[in-house]
Every structure is written in structure tokens, then in C-alpha cells.
Amino acid sequence: MRESSTAFVIIEGNPAEEGFYIQRNRFPPGNYSTPHYHDQDRYITVISGTWYTATSADAEKDDMGPLPAGSYMKHPAGGWHFDGARDEEAIVETRSMGPAKTVRE
């Protein structure tokens, strides 16, 4: 397992290289991403806490739906979304293919 200097850990592979990878992200309470999309399908499982997400390019937190631990969500390639944690830490696991590109406005 390789650890990075940000709030994620690479479990398998490398998102910057060709091939399959698994990454875990930690969202501290009150931490949200800005709207973005990826060039590859991503498959996400909530490991712990409640993760909030919305599938749009508008960062309206009221539109976010809760996904408790054990939940699964697919972020299709090119699909705008944003996500994060509200009152408790959330840890999510992402599985995808690299090289991975994230696009933000």
C-alpha cells in the first residue's frame, strides 16, 4: 500500500499509469470536492461514514444525496459530479482504469 501526501491512499496500481487501480479517499467533515468529471468510468464503494454526492456541474449542496457505508455508485466517464462529507468523516474506495484524468471548470 502506498500512501500519498493528500487525503488518499493508493491500494493497487497507479492512477497515472495504464491499468487497473484502487484508491481510497478520506473526506473530513465539511470537506467537498468542486464539480468535475473523469475520462474513465469510476466505481465507488462507501467504506465508512456517510458520503454525499450529486450528479451535476452546479455545486448545490442541497441537491446532494447521502450514501451510507456499504453503498455503491458509478460515476460514468464524462459525468459531472461533486461529493464530500457533512457531519462525519467518510471514506470511499474508487476502482477504475488509468491513466485517470480529472476535468474541472
Domain count, the chain: 1
Which CATH number is 9's domain given? 2.60.120.10
Query: What tens digit of pLDDT does each residue of 36-46 get?
Result: 999 999 999 99
Query: What tens digit of pLDDT does each residue of 63-93 get?
Result: 899 999 999 999 999 999 999 999 999 999 9
pLDDT of residue 1: 29
- List the domain range (segments joined by +) for residue 21: 2-104
Q: Please, what sign has the CA dihedral across residues 49, 51, 99, 103?
A: negative
Euclidean distance between CA atoms 80 and 87, whole angstroms: 24
pLDDT at 2 > cutoff 70: no
The model's pTM is: 0.87
3 contact partners, CB below 8 Å, separation of at least 6: 9, 10
Contact 92, 23 (CB under 8 A): no
